[in-house]
Structure 1
């Protein structure tokens, strides 16, 4: 039996997130920002760690103060950072955003020459994937080389070692030269994936064929409108090989679609929404926690729903994800699993 070092290793982007502290203010009227850490794989690593899993993050930072900030905050959270390389000549990523509840978040990504895009196969080889119970990958990492090849290689390594592979679909339209290329890469990766997780829009984006089915109403809103036949697209993606496709449906909760045609529906938890940012990553952390604890699909999805519900009442991502005791108390107060 192999020796295990980690419950979960996540791979992909990281950033410093500067969130406006002037809730509701128009962007030109913002006077102050709070500094946090972010990026979907980072958020999931922190969220899962706060729930009690032993986690590590494979990202990359530049030789700059932002990189120092990211690494130090991860260490404080107890996320293993020793596999994170520093990439000379690159910059650590940054995100600047305002908060206009409940659903508008003027946001600017600073990802030119991003360090994490320079993750390569050698960085994967230096990370003990075979000594982890699970690996979580991100669709955003497929947008450019060399991180695209590194992601595929990591999935191959995990599969060969019997490590469970989770894929967060993580669609960021502005990161792709053609948004349809996102689906091409995701569909190629799915045979190596055990469980895929995404929103309705991300599922449709993974099967996008016609440019007119994608609408970005405001270039500073991260979630575009992606039209499509959701159920048909779910079944098409499942046909590529994953053992489950988890669809996050916001306040309606989540669904776990299985290859045999069955669907496990887990209702959400009613809360007052302040910010939806980070909720999907909190969901993934809770859902993965449940699966690694041996829970069934329903209980795991409800755990994910609870983590997401807690985060939408707050103004950030990783720094605001809940701890295990808090989540379990929240679920009990809302009537239990």
Structure 2
């Protein structure tokens, strides 16, 4: 269903329709999420001193973070009823995340507290034009402890789309929960999106990333990834990956991109390759690849752009847009975010996207 504008404020109080059993809000409309995302949530501490390495930084900004959270917030700002399945610790950072999600209208009924665990955190310096060293604090992370029992309360089958990501496959019990969630969604006809989200330093062996991704693909409808992530999903030789700095988020990964894309396409019906400033290419099984150009902007920080892209792409599909229109919406969302410092907090509303696209068309 097409909607203009973005949801604002807190979710409406929920009641139940006595005839259908469907969750309803105070306006008398369904409160069930259209989109469910599962996985990590964090506080992101971003340097406000651009161009300075972390030892020189004196100002930090605190934002919402984590790929599944970013996608849920991005979709919510575009007007989608979104819910996040995650976990936080019994700590102030967990309070920060829950309060932020409430402000964004993202449903938090499936975000649990994990006693004895810590809410995830991320620390980032910004060294334009192309260096964004990032440190993850995920020892004893609460969101990794999302298990199969936590999914019992999640109405996956009643959603329209499910988004999971590759990092969630690195550790159990979250990994097993992801596999089960995708199985349930696929069986119910819910569209399953896998954002590859390759973070090399989150894996004990970089080859394990591909092993887990390939095992999940039978329950996936749409794969989303950068050119490097597509190659990582088929990586078998560690010599094909070059990590010059363990905290750099996009290591160089050699591979035959066309062959690897086709290998993924043989297992999942759609593969969307993110190509940075060039835009993206949508590969659909049995059809000619669809190239959708990006938007020229001045890049401040690339962090969060991929999640904003995914939010736009999924939103477009939920609205019934074509793949070209959905990808264009995703490209616009990603282009807006790279001009800002932050992820979820800086994803655009539909009004911002419309204004951006109009301005870009006027400059063409």
Q: CA RMSD in A?
A: 1.4
Displacement of 1:170 in angstroms is 0.7
CA distance in structure 1 between the partners assigned to 2:133 and 2:361 by the alignment: 36
Task: Provide the TM-score with structure 1 as the length reference.
Answer: 0.97
Aligned to 2:323: 297
Describe the superposition over 1:237-268 as per-residue Cα deviations: whole angstroms up to 9, x where unpaired.
Answer: 1111x220000000000000111142011000
The match for 1:187 is 214
Runs of 4+ off more than 2 Å: 1-4
Please give the alpha-carbon distance, in whole angstroms, between the structure 2 residues aligned to 1:108 and 1:185.
23
Aligned position for 1:328: 354
Q: 1:143 maps to what in 2?
A: 170
Contact 1:102–1:276 (Cα < 8 Å) also in 2: no
Query: C-alpha displacement at 1:63, in angstroms?
Result: 1.0
| Aligned counterpart in structure 2 of residue 64 of structure 1, from 76, 91, 104 | 91
Q: Distance in 2 between matches of 1:322 and 1:92?
A: 26
SS of the residue corresponding to residue 361 of structure 2 reads coil
Deviation at 1:331, TM superposition (A): 1.1
Query: Equivalent of 1:224, from 251, 258, 261?
Result: 251
Aligned to 2:288: 262
Specify the alignment match of 1:54 in structure 2: 81
Alignment of 1:205-216 (within 5 A): 205-216=232-243
> After alignment, is 205-214 or 327-336 more displaced?
327-336
How far does residue 88 in structure 1 lie from its aligned partner after superposition?
1.3
Question: How much does 1:2 deviate?
Answer: 9.5
Q: Report if aligned partners of 2:201, 2:247 keep a CA contact under 8 Å in 1.
A: no
Q: Which runs of 5+ in 1 are unaligned?
A: none
User: Matches of 1:317 and 1:323 in 2, distance apart?
Assistant: 13
Measure, in 2, the Cα distance between the counterparts of 1:161 and 1:119. Answer: 22
**What is the rounded CA distance, in whole Å, between the counterparts of 2:162 and 2:171 in structure 1?**
20
Q: How many residues align?
A: 336
Residue of structure 1 equivalent to 2:334: 308
Segment drifting more, 158-167 vs 8-17: 158-167
Deviations 1:112-168 (A, max 9, x none): 011111110111111111121111011100001000100000001111211111110
Deviation sequence 1:17-75 (CA, Å, 0-9, x none): 00011111121110010100100000000000000000000011011111111111111
- Structure 1 position 106, deviation (Å): 2.1
Residue ranges of structure 2 left out of the alignment (5+ in a row)? 1-19, 23-29
The within-5 A match list for 1:1-337 is: 5-240=32-267, 242-335=268-361
Residue 103 (structure 1) shift:
1.3
Q: 2:134 & 2:157 partners in 1: Cα distance?
A: 37
